[in-house]
Structure 1
Amino acid sequence: MQEYMDANKCIDELLKQLEEERRNVRSALKVGDKGEQLWAQCGVDWGHFSWRSFLGQICPDNENMAESHLLRDMRDAIAGVLPDLPDEVVKSVEETLKALGATTSDDLKYIKENDLLPVLKPIQARRLVAAWTQNGHSSPVRLLSSPSTSSSPGSSTITSSPSGLQTSLIPDWVERFEIPWERFPEELMQNLERQKRPSARQRREMVRIVVSEMMKLCRNPTKQNTTEIAKRMVTKYPKSFQDVIDGDVIGPGYHSLVKQLQSRVENVKRPDTPKVVKRKAASDHDDDTDEIPAEQKASVQDTYGCVSWEPKYLPLSETVESQLEKKEEMKKLFKKMNYRIDLVKELVKCTYYTQRKDINKGASIQKLCEEWPFLFNEVGMAEHFQELTGVNLIETFLANVDKKGARLLKFLRYVDAQKRKQVLDALLKLQTEKGQSNRCSQEVNEMLLLLLAHFGEKEQLLFRCVEMTSQAEDVEMDDVPPTPFIIVCGSSCFSAETFMLSIDKNIVNDKISSFTSAICLMFGSYFCFNIHYPVELRSTLEFLQRCFFSINPERGTKVESKKKKVLPVNPRVLSLITDIADHEWI
């Protein structure tokens, strides 16, 4: 009776893992000698394991669930080789594989090219068959989709891909690979066990050791392989390896280690590269977050970082007529200028559905200014931004400046300025400008100017100074970019007392009282009005987004460029975050 209860408990746990994490079968079922005996009694053949037959024997009612998981695994195996295949073609391939009797990923190695020609083009069929045959003969694969924890340093650690990402085919050597913890210098291991970050020197030595061991098993590790291994290391020692700045994890947290491992792999492989093959010269644009095909812009650039980009339904208490009434009420309040802030917040929140409809349909900035004037005001934009992203625009920025600003400034002043001439030049310039001002709060101004210098991005693309007494109609707009832009009414952002915001060459707010508010409104405009980051400011804006506005998507981009490659985190942003983390004395 006890064995029956134990078996039922294991089955319940197994089904839970299938539904929530779909972990590796062998890892999920190895529960000790007693558990192995139970699985053996159930007829489990690890060489040709089938969820359908296994669950059918133990729990016949779950046969349909098993079939569903088999279809999903089969779909992932196809997508792993042909990711751009249309859904209807994928379904046809699935039906063909089912008709041929394929029930496990292991069966795919027996598929022939002719079997797939009725539903695929010859090249597509050959690619699938070649990949599956290679995996079956020399490097068995498993299907992964969610992360699992690391085991002890001396054991082989098995992890999965991040939840929500496309399932990948992981080679057997990666499964078998053991992180060579025992080969790491004692000083490094002491830091890891004490949850301290290793020094740059220790980290480089560690990367050399890990890559050396990797390449004993595989002479050409892919980025997918190094990502799996980096995830294990970060999971084991998150305090030491995660990409963080003052406790906030950047992206999934392991990209900087992946970058180091992959760079080392490329360096080791380079002597084997034929000299007649010319490598493309690296450019400043090659390592940044760039564009994807135009037809995918809405899903990646516009919805990037949003939790409610386009609500499907009006609030239950609202009608089309009530939305129009509230919109007219806001127009009247905006003209009076003596409105109650709490009332405006409530009206903006209630009409959020209609605002998003107008914005997403492509209404011009000028039209939006006329119909929804509070969207360009600090109170209204902050409320809209909160609904759109789940982030409080002003409070989040100020809290992060208090938390991280001083450390960032110390790094830029005392470390970066010694290495980068443009940062030193910017530092000297702003010290002169600060001397002309008697205003107290200058941290945000200095931080932004030094960030621009660090990334080599031009401040003229972000803001411009005009006469202190200038009115909106006096500002010459010919040289102003169409992206969100700050007009500084004064000789510098340190001395100015009034600022304006321009979007699409229209001044949409000419009464901004501080540079901090201007930065928040400028940044919020990119998200509220579906505007992508300009390539020339991509690094500064993403750094602000991730570190100061706490918008940290693991996938996608808000940058438009000419390339199709999309990187989850801008490498230059990642490098700065890593450099700051490495200087613990700051």
Structure 2
Amino acid sequence: MELVKELVKKAIPSLSSDKMDALMARLVELGVQCEDDMILVEAPDIQDTLPLIQCRRLVKAFQGDSQAAPQFRSPGPTSTPLPQSDDLPPTPPETLPAHTPSAHSPSCEPYSIPWHKMPSKLMDVLGEKKWVKSKERLQMVRIVVDDYLHKHPGRPGRSKLMEIAKNILENRVENIKRTSTPGKRRAEGGEGEVQRKKKSRNSDRYGCVEWDVAVEGTESRAELLSKRNELKSAFKTHDPQRETINDGTNVKVLKEEWPFLFEAAHLFDHASTLLGFSVQNKLAQALSKKEPGINNFLDTKGMKMGEGPEQLICGIVRYFKENPDHLFCKNEDSADAELSLPCTPCILIRGDHLFEIAVDQEVVNDHITSPIVALSYAFCLFYVCNIEYPKEMSLTLEFMQRVFFGINPDRGSKAEMKGKKQHHIPPKLSKLVTELKEFDWHM
């Protein structure tokens, strides 16, 4: 077995002693006695002791796969061996995206990222899922560019650069292992199935004063079922609502035609269908994770703010030197004050726990009691009602869009056009995100 152990070390040089002992114990359990027996070992047999990628490398090494050999050995005395991290393996041939070149030119051939040329320090940082500093990022870019130009002389096009960038991300282990198949769903019976009545337990009734309510009479039951169906159908009107909104209908008419749309539950349901996620839940999760780091960063800039979501947003507004009055309006008690409201969605702060939401200078909801719900509601209105970000608050709103909600389209912007030159991501916003990451804040 010593020869087997030496061959394993050659195949996976960075394998720790603990994993080596566990692997050898597993091989003995499988009945391996010499190196010839390793030809019969398959990747699933040792998957419990090693990551899947390392299992495949080891199996290929013993099967004498000539194509896999360059991935097991250092390409030269000056090259840095690639760490066998579970988070960033070298790009194996089977994980390269399928690509059928339309021509025989080198630029049409698939390109393999030279992970073996990367510095060990960079690979360690990537393996530990830490933020890569700008100096190391530039070094990585130079290595990839030099390697590509050496193999494919000539200037690469934009599409080729995008393909290389996607190749770097898509061949990370966490992306390779990601599956698109949905999780197992609980089996449910059809509506026509006769289901047995569940027998209640004492714990089910515990603390309840009116647990088992009997619906008397068939007529009353039918009426209740009819009301239930009406409530269910109210959530199935997304398409006609979008048709009305996309025709440019103003908010006043929209309130008359779809009065329940501006109730928080219905608006969030509409936005969830429109955007593909729950805005309210996404904002709450993002704030709980990122609010302390942003506040600490703003403190270092001399912008100490109070606690709470609205104070955090005001701090970001202050950093960008924007006007918070286009999102927050305080002490607007009189009805005449609504005439001075912006046309874009804004939050009227009536007290510590009372908020109103207005759009098109029209109050659409006056009974919100949570600042997170108020922020989520106002943000939803920009997308539900097809409204651009006002230029006085565009950077703050786009920061919320990209950092808190994860909405990052490939091109375009929801901000008002300021000039001829447009950036995919505004430089000031990109600078803040970079500074936050350099501040050791995990986005």
| TM superposition score normalised by structure 1 | 0.44
The amino acid that maps onto 1:529 is C
Distance (whole Å) between structure 1 residues aligned to residue 277 and residue 441 of structure 2: 31
In our comparison, the structure showing a higher alpha carbon Rg is 2
2:136 pairs with one of 188, 199, 202:
202
Is residue 274–residue 384 contact of structure 2 (8 Å, CA) maintained in 1?
yes
User: Could you say which residue in structure 2 is the equivalent of 1:231?
Assistant: 166
User: Could you say which residue in structure 2 is the equivalent of 1:398?
Assistant: 284
The amino acid that maps onto 2:269 is E
Is residue 338–residue 362 contact of structure 2 (8 Å, CA) maintained in 1?
no
The amino acid that maps onto 1:205 is Q
2:311 corresponds to 1:446: yes
User: Could you say which residue in structure 2 is the equivalent of 1:122?
Assistant: none
Offset of residue 160 of structure 1: 7.2
Distance (whole Å) between structure 2 residues aligned to residue 561 and residue 450 of structure 1: 24
2:380 is paired with a residue whose SS is helix
User: Could you say which residue in structure 2 is the equivalent of 1:534?
Assistant: 390
- After superposition, residues 88-107 of structure 1 pair within 5 angstroms as none
1:189 pairs with one of 104, 123, 128:
123
The amino acid that maps onto 2:327 is L
Distance (whole Å) between structure 2 residues aligned to residue 395 and residue 407 of structure 1: 20
2:217 corresponds to 1:352: no
1:481 pairs with one of 335, 339, 342:
342
Is residue 89–residue 172 contact of structure 2 (8 Å, CA) maintained in 1?
no
The amino acid that maps onto 1:200 is S
The amino acid that maps onto 1:390 is G
2:339 is paired with a residue whose SS is coil
- After superposition, residues 67-466 of structure 1 pair within 5 angstroms as 152=90, 159=97, 172-173=106-107, 175=109, 179-214=113-148, 218=153, 220-237=155-172, 346=232, 348-414=234-300, 417=301, 424=302, 427-428=303-304, 430=305, 434=306, 442-466=307-331
Instruction: Give CA-to-partner distance per residue, 1:47-71, whole Å, 9 cap, x none.
Output: xxxxxxxxxxxxxxxxxxxxxxxxx
Instruction: Give CA-to-partner distance per residue, 1:52-93, whole Å, 9 cap, x none.
Output: xxxxxxxxxxxxxxxxxxxxxxxxxxxxxxxxxxxxxxxxxx
Distance (whole Å) between structure 1 residues aligned to residue 358 and residue 132 of structure 2: 45
1:475 is paired with a residue whose SS is helix
Offset of residue 523 of structure 1: 0.6
Distance (whole Å) between structure 2 residues aligned to residue 170 and residue 448 of structure 1: 53
Distance (whole Å) between structure 2 residues aligned to residue 237 and residue 223 of structure 1: 22
Percent of aligned pairs sharing the same letter: 30
User: Could you say which residue in structure 2 is the equivalent of 1:547?
Assistant: 403
Distance (whole Å) between structure 2 residues aligned to residue 580 and residue 447 of structure 1: 14
Offset of residue 398 of structure 1: 1.6
Instruction: Give CA-to-partner distance per residue, 1:292-318, whole Å, 9 cap, x none.
Output: xxxxxxxxxxxxxxxxxxxxxxxxxxx
Range moving further from structure 2, 177-186 or 448-457: 177-186
Is residue 411–residue 580 contact of structure 1 (8 Å, CA) maintained in 2?
yes
1:477 is paired with a residue whose SS is helix
The amino acid that maps onto 1:191 is V
Q: Root-mean-square deviation (CA), in Å?
A: 4.1
User: Could you say which residue in structure 1 is the equivalent of 2:49?
Assistant: none
- After superposition, residues 488-507 of structure 1 pair within 5 angstroms as 488-489=349-350, 496-507=352-363
Distance (whole Å) between structure 2 residues aligned to residue 567 and residue 390 of structure 1: 25
1:510 pairs with one of 366, 374, 388:
366
Offset of residue 385 of structure 1: 1.9
Distance (whole Å) between structure 1 residues aligned to residue 230 and residue 316 of structure 2: 35
**RCO higher in structure (CA 8 A, sep ≥6):** 1
Is residue 366–residue 506 contact of structure 1 (8 Å, CA) maintained in 2?
yes
Range moving further from structure 2, 189-198 or 370-379: 189-198
The amino acid that maps onto 1:185 is P
Distance (whole Å) between structure 2 residues aligned to residue 539 and residue 385 of structure 1: 22
1:192 is paired with a residue whose SS is helix
Distance (whole Å) between structure 1 residues aligned to residue 273 and residue 285 of structure 2: 19
Gaps of 5+ in 2: 1-64, 67-87, 176-227
Distance (whole Å) between structure 2 residues aligned to residue 559 and residue 370 of structure 1: 29
The amino acid that maps onto 1:506 is E
Q: 1:446 to 1:231 in 2, by over 3 A?
A: same
Q: 1:551 to 1:447 in 2, by over 3 A?
A: same
Instruction: Give CA-to-partner distance per residue, 1:392-450, whole Å, 9 cap, x none.
Output: 23233223322333334334434xx2xxxxxx3xx24x3xxx4xxxxxxx331232122
Q: 1:212 to 1:390 in 2, by over 3 A?
A: closer
The amino acid that maps onto 2:318 is A
Gaps of 5+ in 1: 1-31, 34-149, 162-166, 243-341, 418-423, 435-441, 491-495
1:558 pairs with one of 411, 414, 431:
414
Offset of residue 363 of structure 1: 1.7
Equivalent residue pairs, number:
304
Distance (whole Å) between structure 2 residues aligned to residue 351 and residue 401 of structure 1: 31
Offset of residue 457 of structure 1: 3.0
Higher helix share: 1
Offset of residue 230 of structure 1: 1.9
1:532 is paired with a residue whose SS is coil
Distance (whole Å) between structure 2 residues aligned to residue 463 and residue 158 of structure 1: 49
Offset of residue 203 of structure 1: 1.8
Q: 1:169 to 1:562 in 2, by over 3 A?
A: farther
Instruction: Give CA-to-partner distance per residue, 1:350-375, whole Å, 9 cap, x none.
Output: 43343233222222111112332332
| TM superposition score normalised by structure 2 | 0.56
Distance (whole Å) between structure 2 residues aligned to residue 223 and residue 563 of structure 1: 25
User: Could you say which residue in structure 2 is the equivalent of 1:282?
Assistant: none
The amino acid that maps onto 1:452 is V
